[in-house]
Every structure is written in C-alpha cells, then in structure tokens.
Amino acid sequence: MHIDLANWYKPTIDRKKLKDLSKRKDWPGLLHFFIYFFSLFVSGYFAYITWGTWWTVFWFFIYGTIYAFSVSNWHETVHRTAFKTRKINEFFYHISSFMSDFEGFRWRWSHTFHHTNTLQTEGDYDHEIQVSRPTELLWFFLNYIPFSALLYPHRLIKFEVLKHAFGFFSPVVEISAPDSEKKKILWNSRLYILIWLIVILISVYYGSFLPILYIILPQYYGKPIWFAVNITQHLGAAFDNKDHRKSTYSVKINPILSFLYWHMEYHLEHHMFPSVPSYNLQKLHKNIKNQLPAPFPSLFSFYKQILPTVIKQAANPKEYFKTTIPNNH
C-alpha cells in the first residue's frame, strides 16, 4: 500500500523522532482486539439472555455500536499499522473487512487513493468522499438514525459486494485496482455472500432472527454513533486542496470512543503521516501541533461549527469551512 504525499504540505519533524513514532508492535493490537471482541461477546450475551424483554433493545444497541466500529478495526489494519507481524495484521484485517462489509481487496486499493487524493474531485479523484456536494441533507441526517441506511439500498456496501460477486465492478475498482486483483475481489465478494446466505439459512432453519441480528444487521442498527464520530474526518472541508490542514480535522472525544475509534480523533495527523500507528498519534500531535489548526475540543463543538457549512453546501457546493492555519506556518 503506497501512499504518495509528495505534493502535499508536510509539517517539519525530526526524522529520527518520526522513525521512532512509526515503529510497530504486536502487543497493542492484540490487546485492543482482545478487549474489543470481549466487549462484543459480553454485550451480545446480555442481548441474548434478555431476548423478549425491552432490555434486549439496549444490549443490541450496545452490541451493534461496538460491531459498527469494526470499520475502525479495518482502517488500522488496512494501513498495516495495527501489528508488526504482517500475518497477524492480515488475519485481523480480513475479519474486520467482513464485519464492516468492506471487501478486503477492493477497499485496500481505494483507501490508498483516498490518502493520495484526499477530497480531490478531478483526475485520480477521491472515491471515499462521504458527503457529496451539494449536500443531500435528508440522507445526511438520516444516518444518525438506526436502520435508516436501508432506505437507500442502492448505496449499501452490501449491494456493491453483490455486484462484484457477479463481475460487475464499480468505477473505483476499474480505476484503482490492478487487473490481477479483480479476480480476488470477485471471489472474496462471493465468499461474503455465501456466509450471509448461510446465516440466513440458519435463521430460517431454527426459526430465529438472532443470527441475522448478530451478523448481518449490526452495521445498520449500530451505525449512528460510529457515523457521528467518523464523519468528522472531512465534513464540510475544502475540496481540491493539497493541504491536509484545510481538508481534514482532529476532534477530541472521550476515552471509550477513542478506544473504539483507534485514536483516529487525531485524523489530521494520520493523513499527514499515515505510517504512524494509532497508539502514537497523540505523541505525533504533540510534536507538530504548533504547525496545525487546534483540534476541535469536543464533538459538540465540531458540529456547532461545521453544521452551518454543511447546510450551506446544499445550496452552494463551493462553500467550505475555513480552517484557521497558524500564521508562522
């Protein structure tokens, strides 16, 4: 996964310091995944034993929220920064890819494009722009409501997997993935669908909706909190600019969300130095913070400042949030 940032603004940092911050270890990733899956198991267990009561709604919401953050597990492993050992990273990468519906071979290539061409709209453009312009406000606000994604079936990532399984590749695959990877995308998509069909057949056989609730639907009922955090990365920012300080944000969040999010609240720092593991992003921030805009102090502060811009973009797609850049840089 090669990310080309040669034409982007780079803050200055001691080369040896950056090398030290970029060192990868196995134990932080193993600990993270242990806590993650243990939390998923515990919430899933309580959802099961309370089935048939109103408590199950609460526990499935917790389970679904944790499950939805598998996208963050995918993100850290797609960068191969979760582990020093490549085989361990790939093992958890493909598990996380399935859980998040991000078919592993397709999304590895498109995410490379995202980093090389963040919020670029021409040429080798960014295929991961989450909110298009002009803003579709109804679609945007519905994302904060469980199951609302099902109102837009043509936008579901599962629908893209289905198309790929039949050999109808999306534009991002045609542009970003080498021909040698397309067969992998084809067969991996078919594997995902096979697993989903097995889960559905088990549900039908046992006359229980639980397998579907545990494996197929969590990304839909558990999405709102993940979306509220993840969308802060580039929402309302400037398009077609080669300075990450104008296209990417850092937003402080509470420790629980920070854990689930793999510390990607330091997302500006991550885009500038994507080889730095998530557990070192705060240290990286301290080394270059005088060259960057200050992080938003909270999610509330972020939305208070950014939402007016997002609403304006519905009428004027050229509108964007003006980030304050330090004068000396």
- For residue range 85-140, list pLDDT tens digits in order: 999 999 999 999 999 999 999 999 888 888 988 998 887 778 888 888 899 999 99
Average pLDDT, integer, range 248-277:
97
Tell me, yes or no, whether 31 lies in a domain: yes
Tell me, yes or no, whether 68 lies in a domain: yes
Average pLDDT, integer, range 25-52:
97
Residue 281 has pLDDT above 70, yes or no: yes
Average pLDDT, integer, range 46-59:
96
pLDDT band at 141 (very low <50, low <70, confident <90, very high): very high
Residue 195 has pLDDT above 60, yes or no: yes
Q: Whose CA is closest to 125, among 10, 5, 240, 233?
A: 240
Name the token pair of 58.
Answer: 């609460």
Residue 328 has pLDDT above 70, yes or no: no
pLDDT of the residue at 254:
96
Q: How far apart are CA 280 and CA 275, in angstroms?
A: 10
Percent of the chain with pLDDT over 90: 81
Residue 327 has pLDDT above 80, yes or no: no
Count the domains in the chain.
1
What confidence tens digit (pLDDT) does each residue in 219-255 have?
Answer: 999 999 999 999 999 999 999 888 999 999 999 999 9
The boundaries of the domain holding residue 196 are 26-121+136-237
pLDDT of the residue at 155:
87
Residue 329 has pLDDT above 90, yes or no: no
Tell me, yes or no, whether 38 lies in a domain: yes
CB-based burial of residue 181 (10 Å sphere; 0-12 exposed, 13-18 middle, 19+ buried)?
middle
pLDDT of the residue at 265:
97
Percent of the chain with pLDDT over 70: 98
Tell me, yes or no, whether 129 lies in a domain: no
Tell me, yes or no, whether 281 lies in a domain: no
Higher-confidence residue: 238 or 1?
Answer: 238
CB neighbour list of residue 266: distance below 8 Å, 6 or more residues apart: 250, 281, 282, 284, 285, 295
Mean pLDDT of all residues in the chain?
93
Q: Whose CA is closest to 3, among 90, 81, 97?
A: 81
pLDDT of the residue at 1:
55
CB-hemisphere CA count at 13 Å for 262? 26
pLDDT of the residue at 132:
85
pLDDT band at 2 (very low <50, low <70, confident <90, very high): low
Q: How far apart are CA 170 and CA 190, in angstroms?
A: 15
Direct distance between the N- and C-terminal alpha carbons of the chain, in angstroms, rounded to an integer: 30
Hunting for tokens 């000396």 — which residue is that? Answer: 328
Tell me, yes or no, whether 158 lies in a domain: yes
Beta bridge partners of 296: 251
The DSSP output letter for 325 is P
Higher-confidence residue: 170 or 229?
Answer: 229
Tell me, yes or no, whether 290 lies in a domain: no
Tell me, yes or no, whether 199 lies in a domain: yes
Secondary structure, 3-state, 247-299: HCCCECCCHHHHHHCCCCCCHHHHHHCCCCCHHHHHHHHHHHHHHCCCCECCH
pLDDT band at 62 (very low <50, low <70, confident <90, very high): very high
Q: How far apart are CA 151 and CA 160, in angstroms?
A: 16
